[in-house]
Structure 1
């Protein structure tokens, strides 16, 4: 798994990088078919009074991309909430993938037997 961590209008410190990597370990424990993860941390200024911290995560999986974004007053809180959202989406996606790997009805052993004509 490749991790790309970038900052928009904010410097990514080694402590912040380590914090994000530690939080994303939880995701990789649940699901190991991750191609790469791109994390964008930034500061948004909707008005001069209020500064909003943004954490955006894009996760590429085989045949799918999961995108989450969260705004908070603190950058660490934004990362926490974004990782929580990502964890819920990954578990949902994992459930869908596992449910579709069952044998199809067309190929079940009961359907493959030739039906007996009535009265035999």
Structure 2
């Protein structure tokens, strides 16, 4: 699994990079067929924005989260991605059963 973390109008510090990587490992526990994760962290006005695209076998999942705090944005993003991954995994399992 390849993880790319970049910043838009933001320098991505080692602490933010490590926090993001640790949180993304939570997603890998639910679905281990992840190919590539592109995460973009940015600032617009007073909002901290985190968005990510995940390439998995058979799909491309996207989520975006905004909040006044970058760490909170990352947490919201991970929760959204986790829900999408679980839904994708359920679709695959249902398809295989039928």
Post-superposition shift, 1:93?
0.6
Higher relative contact order (CA 8 A, sep 6+): 2
Q: 2:96 aligns with which of 88, 94, 101?
A: 101
Larger Rg: 1
Root-mean-square deviation (Å) = 0.7
TM normalised by structure 1 equals 0.80
5+ residue gaps, structure 1: 46-50, 104-120
What SS does the corresponding residue of 2:50 show, helix, strand or coil?
A: strand
What SS does the corresponding residue of 2:54 show, helix, strand or coil?
A: strand
The question of 1:62 aligning with 2:57 is answered yes
Point out the structure with the larger helix share.
2
The question of 1:4 aligning with 2:4 is answered yes
Point out the structure with the larger strand share.
2
| Structure 1 runs of 4+ with >3 Å offset | none
What SS does the corresponding residue of 1:101 show, helix, strand or coil?
A: helix
The question of 1:90 aligning with 2:85 is answered yes
TM normalised by structure 2 equals 0.97
> May I ask how many residue pairs the two structures share in their alignment?
98
